[in-house]
Structure 1
Amino acid sequence: MTYAAFSASLTQPQAPAGISPLLRALWYAGRDEWSLAHDIAQQHEGDPLFDWLHALLHRQEGDAGNAAYWYQQAGRPVFTGNSRTEWQQLVRTQLPA
């Protein structure tokens, strides 16, 4: 699956079949289904990419302190751009252009 196909799938009623848990969580996050994305992130705490996702999700909800904690857990600096750009960057770690 490409980034473009994944992005286009956000308008569909279900996530694409066979995608990884990280992509499933990002699919939910891309649709602003925060709780579903957060549940998946919590199930994979300790994995740097999921911890990055966890940080992004807390940024989306406006909890900068909690987001900062998760950036630290992920070994990443606090992202300074908008959350959509960060979402795109995280998705692109998993999919080709």
Structure 2
Amino acid sequence: MQFKTFLQSISASAPPPGSSVYLQSMWYDAKGDWHEAHSLVDHLHDLTACRVHAYLHRKEGDIANADYWYRRADKIRPSVSLQEEWEMIVKALL
């Protein structure tokens, strides 16, 4: 799937069929449903889930918790905007 197609899917009522749990989380985040986005990854502990989890806590404003998850993902908190980080993650997942 292309990034543009994923962006267009945000106006739909459900994530694109066959989307990974990580993409589903980012899709729900884009829809403004932080809690659903978080619930999809909060019980997962692989590097990708930790990366998405870190972003979600950064967006929430819980920087200490976000930094914990960035470390778990073997990343550092980026100095880009939340929108830029969202795009970086989604493009990497696609």
> Which category of TM-score, normalised to the shorter sequence, fits these structures?
over 0.9
Q: Tell me, yes or no, if structure 1 residue 20 matches structure 2 residue 25.
A: no
Deviation at 1:12, TM superposition (A): 1.0
Superposition pairs of residues 66-77 of structure 1, within 5 angstroms: 66-77=65-76
Deviation at 1:16, TM superposition (A): 1.1
Structure 1: 5+ residue stretches without partners: none
2:42 counterpart SS class? helix
Cα distance between partner residues in 2 of 1:81 and 1:94: 18
Cα distance between partner residues in 2 of 1:55 and 1:69: 8
Structure 2: 5+ residue stretches without partners: none
Letter paired with 1:9: S
Superposition pairs of residues 9-88 of structure 1, within 5 angstroms: 9-45=9-45, 47-88=46-87
Deviation at 1:17, TM superposition (A): 1.1
Q: Give the TM-score taking structure 2 as reference length.
A: 0.94
Deviation at 1:29, TM superposition (A): 1.2
Q: Give the TM-score taking structure 1 as reference length.
A: 0.91
Deviation at 1:43, TM superposition (A): 2.5
Moved over 6 A (4+): none
User: What is aligned with 2:7?
Assistant: 7
Cα distance between partner residues in 2 of 1:15 and 1:92: 16
